[in-house]
Structure 1
Amino acid sequence: MKSKAAALTLQQTCLSPAQEKTQQKVIALAGNPNVGKSTIFNALTGMKQHTGNWPGKTVVNARGTCTFHDNTYTLVDIPGCYSLMAHSAEEEVARDFICFGEPDAVIVVCDATCLERNLNLVLQIMEAGRPVLLCVNLLDEARKKKIRLDLSLLSFRLRLPVAGTTARSSRGLDELLDELEQMLFSSPLSGRSSALPEASTPRVVYPEYIEEALSLLVPRLKRICSASGKKLPSARFIGARLLDANESLQASLKNYLGFDPAAIPEISGTLEEIRQMLEDRGISREQLHDDLASAFVRTAERVCKGVVFYPDEDCDKKDRKLDRIFTSRLTGFPIMLLGLLGIFWLTITGANYPSALLSRLLFGLEDRLALLFSLAGVPAVLTDVLLHGVYRVMAWVISVMLPPMAIFFPLFTLLEDFGYLPRVAFNLDRCFQSCSACGKQALTMCMGFGCNAAGVTGCRIIDSPRERLIAIITNNFVPCNGRFPTMLSIITLFLIGGAGGLTGSLLGACILVALIVLGVLMTFLVSRLLSATILKGVPSSFTLEMPPYRRPQILKVIVRSIVDRTLKVLGRAVISAAPAGLLIWVLANVPLSGQTTLLTALTGFLDPFARRLGMDGCILTGFLLGLPANEIVVPIIIMTYMARGSLLEVEGVQLMQLFTANGWTWITAVSTLLFSLMHWPCATTLLTIRKESGSLKWTLLSFLVPTVCGIILCFLFTTAALFLFPA
């Protein structure tokens, strides 16, 4: 019968029974964020990998296999973390897998340009008693900055195998696997084993009062650890965390053991004795916490002395010069706006031609499928439902949505790979802090431009549950790619006049950026209101990693962004669009009485309310039926105006004539733009919110907040416009 420990390992790494029988070694890949950990994982595993969620968590993990010298390893890419003192769901997952997932070894990836800071995590994992292989990555970046490292001396001081790598060019990876093989399979008698007696391993030395407390606690914990029969972290590591009153670790330890060690009279009595001793000496819990953490910092400083050699001149001169440009109060925000303008101009201009080509291809296929259905004897009604209803909506979503995303996501990922996006978060941090929100919300907001569902998923990086909910609820205030076609159509027809060519596209991009700025301001306002009402709380602090500027790997970025983002988002949108196509066909073709259809009745019912918002019933119906996919809002409006039974494509002058014939004015256009910016999230985003928040209440609130804001803003604008410019 399997032990509980073995069951946990199987569950957390998701090994198959076949893998368990072959006794594949399970290797955890750990490290700080932005050290190239995932690059190493991808290089070692190639396509032999898959992703999923950790049990009971929404945090995504990646697992893959790697074979070297006939030895197969299961690599687990755990979330990036700065320490084992977890503050977020990601850090809890990383800590729990290292401490309780029973990996055969932990490869800790460090950044060669800031090795001393990264060693903090290495020393903590060593104290936990896990076999560690240190991978010093980004040697090329260190070389550019003229930083020299003595990896042999580092290995000697830490008593660990150390391998230097440049993962982006796959250099040093064979040496890394060779060190791993020696550590796991070499015999201690061969002279090549990395295993060393515990006494020879460098120990983090705490202040005297902590060492005195541990001398009382550790012997008792050792007896409990040995009696449990499980591969627990070292008693010293557990003892230090119990002193620190780390509730998250205690909960995980209790779950792993099936009982709470701190509740055992022998341990609880010792802890109470230690607390009394600290109180008598005037040592607060805050001082204890700081002293425990600073011990690792001092040890890292001692280890790195003589190991890392910095040049006499400023090795970060180039990065700091760029930071002065990108993050200064004078130039930071203008560069952000110009960058946003450039991205949207490229997206708008570049998407037109492939979108038209894709549209002709897909709608041409519809005619051929209709002929095939006719030859096969398929009933006309079924052909109409499947082709002119379901297929046409799906084709419309694909042709309109795919080209902009295929341009936007790679551009966004290039900025991320270059290292600019963390600077955007830095610039906006003060704005979000003033709203009692988290500066990391800037990153999730940027992700929302591509897809709000992706932005909601990205909110996992925010540690505070309160601030994570604020980011989720307000993410829809930034327009996704699905709303761009509606906005661009209206801007082109009503707001840029007769401007065409380069001037027209630039003017259209400027108006679109102005709308986006309004959405960002609404994000700040609503975040502040939520923080002051139903989501009160003190804003949390967080560590924002400023990675070095790097030359983006363009080909890899394009492939990764298209596969990981564009196609996934498109797939979810198509799944939502299929039932929408069926619903739209039913509403447009099922009669109530005479020539009146369900769609006509719906638009008539909504018309009085829509008029107060500067729109009409057909426009509001388009937004309602566009819930599954925002790309089909304008086609639904056209179909409703023309009283047709399926979506129609009308462009340019004909579309302008159609809209003006149905009463559109500049007020209608602006009101529709405002409502497009601020209305309910699409179905895919709502499902993602339900999954991420785990609550129908927060999903409903995420639906209502932008919708109510849109209704209020449209009503105020229309009332003011009609008062100032009466017809």
Structure 2
Amino acid sequence: MGLTNSSIGIKAVDSGLEIKKQLPGDKVIALAGNPNVGKSTVFNGLTGMNQHTGNWPGKTVTNAQGYCSTKNHSYVLVDIPGTYSLMAHSAEEEVARNFICFGEPDVVVVVCDATCLERNLNLVLQTLEISKNVIVCINLMDEAKRKHIKIDLNAISKRLGVPVVGAVARKKNSLSTLMEVVDKVVDGNIKATPLSIQYPKEIEEAIGVLEPVVKNKVGEMLNSRWLSLKLLDQDESLVREINTYLGYDFLNDEELNEAYAHGKSILDSYKIDSDLLKDKIVSSLVRKAEEVCLGAVTFEKEGYNASDRKIDKILTSKVTGYPIMLALLALVFWLTITGANYPSQMLADGLFWVQDRLTEFFQYMNAPNWLHGILVLGVFRVLAWVVSVMLPPMAIFFPLFTLLEDAGYLPRVAYNLDKSFKRCCACGKQALTMCMGFGCNAAGIVGCRIIDSPRERLLAILTNNFVPCNGRFPTLIAILTMFFVGTAGGAYSSIVSALLLTSIIVLGIFVTFAVTKILSKTLLKGVPSSFTLELPPYRKPQIGKVIVRSIFDRTLFVLGRAIVVAAPAGMVIWLMANITVGDTSVLNHCASFLDPLARLMGLDGVILLAFILGFPANEIVVPIIIMAYMSQGSILELDSLVEMKELFVNNGWTWITAICTMLFSLMHWPCSTTLLTIKKETGSWKWTALAAGIPTAVGIMSCIFFATAARIFL
């Protein structure tokens, strides 16, 4: 059930073949590499804005395709998922392996990190076993120079038997050498003789029995030596891909089955089972990587990464790691709160100026009042509030978040929280997806793709909503300021608001841990999986690229989804506020119906209805509350927090109401954008319903518990 292998699909990724059919004159370059080696920087540097993203067929793994050209050829670059291995333990590894093996790229460029080349060569060596047309691009040569690491590119190239190119991907002109080598490989001007990995004699003996038969069956279509090794490794997912690629049941051959049985008997005679075979394969790769680097990679200065380790002792310390995380979180919120106020107001003024012009136009056209009400006071006004309230905080928060990511801090956050998630039988990578949820829960849901285990990915998806997105920040900040900080404004007010908001978010994180623990012991039982978490070197962020990437890839993407669902919501809200039954609007009738449950939760019917109508976008919750209290026919907002507090108090608000409203804002159903994303990621309405029901149930129970306790004891 859920995100199992069958639900996310296990089938050959033949995008390379599809690309060649669609663009027969273009050559295909597969861009591979470990995470955090600058692969995306190489991709962006070569393609510029000539790129698009999508999902691999049958996978919830993002790919990117881009276009570039040289004097000789035009190329389609495919940025395959970053992975440490091609042994297919995760969806990313399967996609990378399948594209290299079955996608028939003309060239495979493997990007490596110059500061940790030996570790990166593990992926290079595995790629050499699959493809002959491999180019190794050693990126971050400037970082290596800064750390006094010297790399003999010629020696590495001779030992690997393929071209090796040094690069600083941040400097676009350094990639021209790479493309010159790509041209030579494509034109056949460079004849590669890829290094062949020699395994222990017992494995080589088994390969020797199986390979001649495999070669006879597949010819030059696949690397027979590598394929023989994978068959002995009992890689079932690979067998399915081979059958799809060849168009028939590969193993349904008597001669091949006899050779396979013979090879397995040889391994059995040496008492080598599947796990031991994998260990021996990995050990051979590690030893070969050491041999390749021996003498070719030299460290001219001891303690070349001493500064990074000193910083890590502070940022990942049990004593200082958590306080620094909370301090940085509070700083990001303070900058977001302070910086978003003025642009938000300016944007609102501009959009409502447009609304006035639209009103004049409708009057000029003698349009009926109901049409003006639905389209202008309903649809456009709601869109104006969503854009003016949502865009400025996202435009500030996402770049700040991306700067921390670009500098190398976010992996340290995952490291710090790993043990906490392990205690909940979850994956430490969930910390990263939780951080992404601060900006937008939909982005956090998409980020859950980095978690390999289907069970742990579901845990992250179902609990991501307990971290408030920026759409809930306005409600939380307004209530905090009115009832607990004061409405005088100024730097003191924004600092206290940021600190209190951080405290609320810490509560959300604790609830995330608790619910994850409960789910992992009940609905989603299982043992936490292990994963490789690399702490990349600290780097100076590229501020310009970070701003552009975060605005276009995250801010505008999320805002676009919100607008799509907010527009019809504006129409529904206006109709409910203007259609009356008796002397009372449908809006107030609904509020009266919800009032008993809402009172039990420490709220009132208007507040609960506002949350329900705010389902398309959390930003419109407070304006709906004001509209209902003032019995207005369209969504609005008061000019000052003083007026807003007075209105709320006159309608029965107390500090208990304020806290219960914040609790329910923190813990209630995800917005429609997030739920649509969950449906897309899981492919299941069942898990989508649970993703909505779990936080809502927790929110209702939390509000009832707090309101009841406050009334009894206070």
Structure 1 counterpart of 2:699: 710
Equivalent position SS for 1:262: coil
Structure 2 counterpart of 1:238: 227
Alignment of 1:53-68 (within 5 A): 53-68=55-70
Kept after mapping to 2: 8 A contact 1:163/1:172: no
Structure 2 counterpart of 1:623: 611
The higher relative CO (CA closer than 8 Å, separation ≥ 6) is in 2
Aligned length in residues:
703
Alpha-carbon shift at residue 163 of structure 1 (Å) = 0.9
Alpha-carbon shift at residue 280 of structure 1 (Å) = 3.2
Query: Alpha-carbon deviations, 1:283-337, whole Å to 9, x = none?
Result: 2322111001111111111111111001241000111011111001011000000
Alignment of 1:645-656 (within 5 A): 645-650=633-638, 651-656=640-645
Alignment of 1:120-519 (within 5 A): 120-186=122-188, 193-196=189-192, 200-226=193-219, 232-497=221-486, 500-519=489-508
Residues of 1 paired with 2:262 and 2:69: CA distance? 52
Residues of 2 paired with 1:397 and 1:9: CA distance? 39
* Residues 97 and 486 of structure 1, relative CA distance in 2, 3 Å threshold: same
Residues of 1 paired with 2:626 and 2:392: CA distance? 22
Aligned: 1:669 with 2:658: yes
Residues of 2 paired with 1:606 and 1:393: CA distance? 23
Residues of 1 paired with 2:13 and 2:643: CA distance? 64
Alpha-carbon shift at residue 341 of structure 1 (Å) = 0.4
* Residues 511 and 306 of structure 1, relative CA distance in 2, 3 Å threshold: same
Query: Alpha-carbon deviations, 1:162-210, whole Å to 9, x = none?
Result: 1110001224211111111111114xxxxxx3214xxx53210001110
The code of the aligned residue for 1:501 comes to G
Alpha-carbon shift at residue 499 of structure 1 (Å) = 5.9
Structure 1 counterpart of 2:7: none
* Residues 578 and 96 of structure 1, relative CA distance in 2, 3 Å threshold: same
The code of the aligned residue for 2:567 comes to A
Structure 1 counterpart of 2:99: 97
Equivalent position SS for 2:277: helix
Query: Alpha-carbon deviations, 1:217-262, whole Å to 9, x = none?
Result: 0001001112xxxx63311101111111112212211221123323
* Residues 249 and 573 of structure 1, relative CA distance in 2, 3 Å threshold: same
Alpha-carbon shift at residue 273 of structure 1 (Å) = 2.8
Kept after mapping to 2: 8 A contact 1:12/1:55: no
Equivalent position SS for 2:19: coil
The code of the aligned residue for 1:445 comes to M
Unaligned runs of 5+ in 1: 1-6, 187-192
**Which of these residues, 595, 599, 602, is aligned with residue 590 of structure 2?**
602
Alpha-carbon shift at residue 11 of structure 1 (Å) = 4.1
Kept after mapping to 1: 8 A contact 2:206/2:264: no
Residues of 2 paired with 1:635 and 1:245: CA distance? 60
Kept after mapping to 1: 8 A contact 2:449/2:457: yes
Residues of 2 paired with 1:34 and 1:723: CA distance? 54
The code of the aligned residue for 2:122 comes to N
**Which of these residues, 70, 73, 76, is aligned with residue 74 of structure 1?**
76
Kept after mapping to 1: 8 A contact 2:155/2:296: yes
Residues of 1 paired with 2:72 and 2:244: CA distance? 36
Alpha-carbon shift at residue 682 of structure 1 (Å) = 0.2
Query: Alpha-carbon deviations, 1:684-718, whole Å to 9, x = none?
Result: 00000001011111000000110000011101100
Alpha-carbon shift at residue 51 of structure 1 (Å) = 1.5
Residues of 2 paired with 1:206 and 1:596: CA distance? 82
Equivalent position SS for 2:77: strand
Aligned: 1:19 with 2:23: yes
> Which sits farther off after the overlay, 493-502 or 675-684?
493-502
Structure 2 counterpart of 1:106: 108
Equivalent position SS for 1:261: coil
Residues of 2 paired with 1:674 and 1:182: CA distance? 62
Residues of 1 paired with 2:440 and 2:544: CA distance? 22
Residues of 2 paired with 1:660 and 1:263: CA distance? 77
The code of the aligned residue for 1:522 comes to V
* Residues 387 and 13 of structure 1, relative CA distance in 2, 3 Å threshold: farther
Residues of 1 paired with 2:80 and 2:273: CA distance? 34
Residues of 2 paired with 1:119 and 1:251: CA distance? 28
Equivalent position SS for 1:27: strand
Determine what percentage of the aligned residue pairs are the same residue: 57
Residues of 1 paired with 2:669 and 2:688: CA distance? 11
Alpha-carbon shift at residue 264 of structure 1 (Å) = 2.2
Structure 2 counterpart of 1:43: 45
Residues of 2 paired with 1:233 and 1:31: CA distance? 21
Query: Alpha-carbon deviations, 1:458-498, whole Å to 9, x = none?
Result: 00000000000000000000000000000011001111136
Kept after mapping to 2: 8 A contact 1:89/1:463: yes
Structure 2 counterpart of 1:190: none
> Which sits farther off after the overlay, 505-514 or 327-336?
505-514
**Which of these residues, 565, 568, 587, is aligned with residue 576 of structure 2?**
587
> Which sits farther off after the overlay, 404-413 or 247-256?
247-256
Alpha-carbon shift at residue 49 of structure 1 (Å) = 1.4
Residues of 1 paired with 2:12 and 2:27: CA distance? 15
TM normalised by structure 2 equals 0.97
Equivalent position SS for 1:15: helix
Kept after mapping to 2: 8 A contact 1:130/1:233: no
Query: Alpha-carbon deviations, 1:626-653, whole Å to 9, x = none?
Result: 0000000000011111111101111321
Equivalent position SS for 1:73: strand
* Residues 623 and 397 of structure 1, relative CA distance in 2, 3 Å threshold: same
The code of the aligned residue for 1:122 comes to V
Kept after mapping to 2: 8 A contact 1:9/1:102: no
Equivalent position SS for 1:172: helix
Unaligned runs of 5+ in 2: 1-10
Equivalent position SS for 2:634: coil
The code of the aligned residue for 2:39 comes to K
**Which of these residues, 106, 118, 121, is aligned with residue 120 of structure 2?**
118
Residues of 2 paired with 1:18 and 1:575: CA distance? 31
**Which of these residues, 537, 546, 549, is aligned with residue 560 of structure 1?**
549
Kept after mapping to 2: 8 A contact 1:29/1:109: yes
Residues of 1 paired with 2:84 and 2:194: CA distance? 22
Residues of 1 paired with 2:478 and 2:228: CA distance? 64
Alpha-carbon shift at residue 263 of structure 1 (Å) = 3.5
Equivalent position SS for 1:109: strand
